[in-house]
Amino acid sequence: MSVTETARQERVIELRLGPVAHGGHVVARHEGRVVFVRHGIPSELARVALTDADEGAKFWRGDVVEVLEASPHRREHVWDLADSLRAHSEGRLPVGGAEFGHIALDEQRRLKAAVIREQLERLAHLERDIVVEPVPLRPGAADDGGGLAWRTRCSFAVTPEGRLAMHAHRSEELIPITGMPLATDEIDALHLWELDLRGVERVEVAAPASGSAPLVVFTLADGVAPARLTEILDGLDPAVSASAVGSAALGPGAARSPLTVRGRGSVTEHVLGHHYTVTGEGFWQIHRRAPETLVTAVLDALGGVLAAGAQVADLYAGAGLFTAPLAAAVGPGGYVLSVEGSPGTSRDARRTFKRQPEVAVVQGRVERVLRTQGGPGAFDAVVLDPPRAGAGREAVRQLVAAEPKAIAYVACDPASFARDLGWFRDAGWTLGSLRAFDLYPMTHHVESVALLLPPAHAN
C-alpha cells in the first residue's frame, strides 16, 4: 500500500471505501482502524489525505484526493472550491458546505435514505424503507434546479484582507469565495465577494423565497465604528436593492446593537397564505421550498387531530413557521403554545402573532416551559422541530407525560431523531408515517417529518 504526502504535507493512503455513514462520510479501514472519509462514494478505490490522524486516536478522518476506481455515480463537482480533488492538488482544503457535490443527485438521496434507515435500526431498533423525496425549486414544477440555487440563507466569514470567505470543514482555514452555487440568484446578484469587507467579522444574508429584497447583516469587529458600514455599502451595486443591518460593539465587552443602515431591518416571508416577519437575528428554514414542504407534511401527518378548538404546542417554534397554520387549523376557539429559545427569533414570532389571542408566544427552553405548561392532557397535538441535537431525554419524558394524541417530529438530524424515537418507543409510542425530503442538496443533510403515536392509539 503506497503512503505519500500532499502539498500540505498530509499523509496519503490508498483505501477501498465502504458504506456511507452519518455526518457526510463513508467508512473505510486502514490496518484495522476506522477512517471516516469525506468526498468519496461507497465502493470506490481512492487515495485519501489524512486530515485527523493522531497515532493514539480511535478513528481517523481523511479527504479523497485522487480516485483510482470511480463509482458510476461520480460526477464533476458542482463547485470548484468545494472539490476535494482540485483543492488538495492546489495545496488547500475544500470549502465546506457542498460535500456531496461530486455525487449524482439520485445517488445523494439514496445515500441519505441509507443513513436514516441505518440510524433507525441502530438507535430505535426499527426497520423502515425510506425514500428521500426531491423538492422542486418552484411549486408544481418537476425541476429541482439540479440541486443548486436553493439556499435563501447564507453565512460567510471574512479574511483578514477583507475578502468574503467560507471555512473548510472542521478547520479555521478561510477560503475566499467568488460565488456560491447553492445560494439563490438574489443572493448571487449582491456580488458580496466584490466588497472590501475590512473591519467586518461575519456576513449573513437572508433572501426571501418571494424574490423580494434580501437583508444583509454585517457584524463589525469589536471597536470598529458603525460609519465603516456606510463605506462598505457604497460598494454595493445601486441597481440591486437590499436592506442592510450592521451589528457594532464599540469597545471590548460592549453590548452589540443592531443598526439598520439601509432599508428595513427585516424580511417578510410568505408561506401558504401566512406572513411572517423575520429579522437578521431570527431563524428561518434555508431551502426556498422548505417552509411550504414542511408545513404541508406536518398538517398531513397530524390530520384529524387538528380539529377546530384543539389545543396544540409548536415546540422549537422559531419565528412561528408552524404556529400560523396550526392557529388557522384550530381556529379562534383553539389554542397554540409557541415555544422558542432564542430571544431574537421569539421576538419575531411575537411580532407576527401579536393580534392573535389564540396564540401564546413563550420565549424559553422547551424543557423549562413544559414543566409549567405541559401537564397530562395539556395538548391534543404537538409539533416538535428541535435543532440538530434533537429534543433530548428530558423533553421526551415530559412529552410522554403530557399524553398528546399525536406528535409531528420534524428532524434535521437522523441520529438525534432516531435516539429520541428510541425513547418514545421505550414508553410504548409507535412510529406512524415517516417522510424524508432532500432540502439540502449537495450536502449530506436531510430533513424528515415523522408522526409519533401514543400507546393508547395502538390498542
Q: How many CA atoms lie within 13 A of 184 on its CB side?
A: 23
Stretch that binds ligand SAM, among 68-76, 231-239, 335-343, 413-421 (CB under 6 A): 335-343
Nearer to ligand SAM, 186 or 340 (CB): 340
Question: Which residue, 128, 118, 114, 106, is CA-closest to 434?
Answer: 128
Write down the least CB distance from residue 238 to ligand SAM, Å: 33
Stretch that binds ligand SAM, among 248-256, 300-308, 334-342, 401-409 (CB under 6 A): 334-342
- One of 345, 352, 416, 448 touching ligand SAM (CB under 6 A): 345
Q: Is 234 annotated as a binding residue?
A: no
Stretch that binds ligand SAM, among 125-133, 137-145, 311-319, 436-444 (CB under 6 A): 311-319
Nearer to ligand SAM, 86 or 365 (CB): 365
Which phi and psi angles does 347 have, rounded to 5°?
-60, -40
> First vs last Cα of the chain: how many Å apart?
59
DSSP single-letter state for residue 141: -
- 385 binding ligand SAM? (CB under 6 A): yes
C-alpha 317/C-alpha 329 separation (Å) is 16
C-alpha 188/C-alpha 211 separation (Å) is 12
- 321 binding ligand SAM? (CB under 6 A): yes
Pairing between strand 200-206 and 266-271?
unpaired
- 246 binding ligand SAM? (CB under 6 A): no
What cell numbers appear for 266 in the block? 427585516
- One of 341, 374, 390, 454 touching ligand SAM (CB under 6 A): 341
What cell numbers appear for 229 in the block? 458600514
Residues 382, 408 contacting (CB under 8 angstroms): yes
- 366 binding ligand SAM? (CB under 6 A): yes
Cα-based distances in Å from 27 to 6, 12, 68, 153, 182:
21, 16, 17, 31, 26
- 390 binding ligand SAM? (CB under 6 A): no
- One of 78, 220, 306, 317 touching ligand SAM (CB under 6 A): 317
Write down the least CB distance from residue 316 to ligand SAM, Å: 3
Residues 421, 123 contacting (CB under 8 angstroms): yes
Nearer to ligand SAM, 224 or 315 (CB): 315
Q: Is 440 annotated as a binding residue?
A: no
- One of 210, 241, 260, 342 touching ligand SAM (CB under 6 A): 342
Q: Is 316 annotated as a binding residue?
A: yes
Cα-based distances in Å from 131 to 107, 109, 128, 310:
11, 8, 10, 32
- 318 binding ligand SAM? (CB under 6 A): yes
Q: Return the residues of window 395-434 that contact ligand SAM according to CB under 6 A.
A: 412
- 297 binding ligand SAM? (CB under 6 A): no
- 448 binding ligand SAM? (CB under 6 A): no
- 154 counts as catalytic: no
Cα-based distances in Å from 243 to 201, 257, 279, 348:
19, 17, 11, 17
- One of 18, 145, 258, 387 touching ligand SAM (CB under 6 A): 387
Q: Is 340 annotated as a binding residue?
A: yes
Catalytic annotation, pick one of 205, 412, 436, 451? 412
Q: DSSP for 40-96?
A: --TT-EEEEEEEE--TT-SEEEEEEEEEEE--TTB---S-GGG-HHHHHHTTSPPBS
Question: Which residue, 263, 360, 262, 252, is CA-closest to 311?
Answer: 360
DSSP single-letter state for residue 74: B
Q: Return the residues of window 265-294 that contact ligand SAM according to CB under 6 A.
A: 283-285
Radius of gyration for the alpha carbons in the chain, expressed in angstroms and rounded: 23
Question: Which residues contribute to the annotated binding site for S-adenosyl-L-methionine?
Answer: 285, 316, 340, 385
Which residues lie near ligand SAM (CB under 6 A)?
283-285, 316-318, 321-322, 339-342, 345, 365-366, 385-387, 412
Active site members: 412
